[in-house]
Amino acid sequence: MSNYAIGVDIGGTNTKFGIVDRNGEILYQDRMLTNEPDDVQDFVDELYEKLAPMIEKYGGHENFIGIGVGAPNGNFYTGTIEYAPNLKWKGIIPLAKLFHDKFKLHAKLTNDANAAAMGEMMYGCAKNMKHFITITLGTGVGSGIVIDGKIVLGHDGFAGELGHTIIRPGGRLHPGTGIRGSLESYASATGVRETAIELLSKNPKEESLLRDYSINDLITSKTVYECAIKGDNIANEVFNFTGQILGEALANFILFSSPEAIVLFGGLTKAGNLILDPTRAAMEANLIKIFKNKVKLIFSELNEADAAILGASALVWEK
């Protein structure tokens, strides 16, 4: 009997991976940069180099049931990644096959955000919920939608791309998609940084701690947070603006599937109430009466990397 599964979470910046047992315990985990290897084969090879010694340590291939992978635009039905805007691998990539060929293990792929939702449903704060939506606020904005206890995949496996919904028509251009005004252009780490730079240039005379950082690389959602908790006006305004847009978008999602909760993951959630309060206010203000004060807006209780690795590994536990 196989005792272990491998879970891999491919994000726009980092790839996290781990070895998971049947009880959902992560026995080993590590990470690598997603876009550093030149192409996708190099990426798979490099990941294999890192995992091979651990596979040996845990009893070799025959002790592993398979490898589950979550990746942007990952398609559960076909095992391919198609045109992922945040990755440098272009076109249609047969990722499940590449993993299978290299690792000689049963390989299953899904959207990275769907994997996180699955992890949350199996081990996190959505454990007893049949209707919820997870939103990952990371390099990009991902989403996993659960209805009646099942991940929504759609007719072709690509459902749940809520980061690309339009919330400011004609607004900020998304360099990866060429579309204006999508949620991801505002509520991602990149979006927060861009909002900070915009507010600084729009208010050239207003003092701000953010002006001590170089625009080129030091203004990040982390530095904005650090300035905001020191009471910096512009930094706080960045979170209010981001929360306003995110909250409006969440109201739209609620109108679709009427979930019991929305679970927020990812880097931006480290800003705590600075982002949660304006988001909740805008969400409630844009809901029709039947939905008001009903839907829980919560942060994931799981460590973000854990949720994604656990969720990805769950793909191969479930047959």
Among 61, 130, 173, 301, binds a copy of itself (CB under 8 A): 130
Core vs surface per residue 258-276: b (16+ CB within 10 A) or e:
ebebbbbbbbbbebeebbb
Give me the least distance between CB of 180 and a copy of itself, in Å please: 9
| Exposed/middle/buried for residue 10 (C-beta within 10 Å: 0-12, 13-18, 19+) | buried
How many Å is the Cα radius of gyration of the chain?
20
Give me the least distance between CB of 248 and a copy of itself, in Å please: 5
> In Å, what is the CA distance from 53 to each residue of 3, 31, 60, 97, 319?
17, 15, 9, 22, 26
Task: Choose one: 17-25, 46-54, 196-204, 288-296; the region binding a copy of itself (CB under 8 A).
Answer: 288-296
Task: Choose one: 112-120, 198-206, 250-258, 263-271; the region binding a copy of itself (CB under 8 A).
Answer: 250-258
Among 25, 36, 59, 154, binds a copy of itself (CB under 8 A): 154
Give me the least distance between CB of 187 and a copy of itself, in Å please: 14
284 binding a copy of itself? (CB under 8 A): no
77 binding a copy of itself? (CB under 8 A): no
186 binding a copy of itself? (CB under 8 A): no
Phi, psi of 140 (to 5 degrees): -115, -170
150 binding a copy of itself? (CB under 8 A): yes
Q: Which residue type sits at 265?
A: F
134 binding a copy of itself? (CB under 8 A): no
Rounded Cα distance between 282 and 259, Å, is 17
Task: Choose one: 19-27, 52-60, 153-161, 271-279; the region binding a copy of itself (CB under 8 A).
Answer: 153-161
> Is residue 83 within 8 Å of residue 92, measured between CB atoms?
yes
Give me the least distance between CB of 137 and a copy of itself, in Å please: 17
Rounded Cα distance between 58 and 133, Å, is 35
> In the window 79-108, what residues touch a copy of itself (CB under 8 A)?
82-83, 85
Give me the least distance between CB of 288 and a copy of itself, in Å please: 5
Among 148, 175, 202, 217, binds a copy of itself (CB under 8 A): 148
Among 1, 60, 155, 231, binds a copy of itself (CB under 8 A): 155
> Is residue 62 within 8 Å of residue 2, measured between CB atoms?
yes
Rounded Cα distance between 269 and 260, Å, is 20
Identity of the residue, 169 or 231, whose beta carbon is nearer to a copy of itself in the bound complex: 169
Reference 304, options 268, 277, 275; nearest CA is: 268
Give me the least distance between CB of 97 and a copy of itself, in Å please: 19
Give me the least distance between CB of 234 and a copy of itself, in Å please: 22
30 binding a copy of itself? (CB under 8 A): no
**3-state secondary structure at position 41:** helix
Among 113, 235, 238, 251, binds a copy of itself (CB under 8 A): 251
Strand locations in 13-147, DSSP E? 14-21, 26-33, 64-71, 81-82, 92-93, 107-111, 132-137, 141-147
Q: How far apart are the first and last CA of the chain?
A: 14
175 binding a copy of itself? (CB under 8 A): no
46 binding a copy of itself? (CB under 8 A): no
Rounded Cα distance between 80 and 216, Å, is 35
Looking at the DSSP assignment, which residues form a beta bridge with residue 278?
A: none
- Residues of the shown chain interacting with a copy of itself in the complex, contacts defined by CB under 8 A: 73, 82-83, 85, 129-131, 145, 147-148, 150, 152-162, 164-169, 177, 179, 248, 251-253, 255-260, 285-286, 288-291, 294
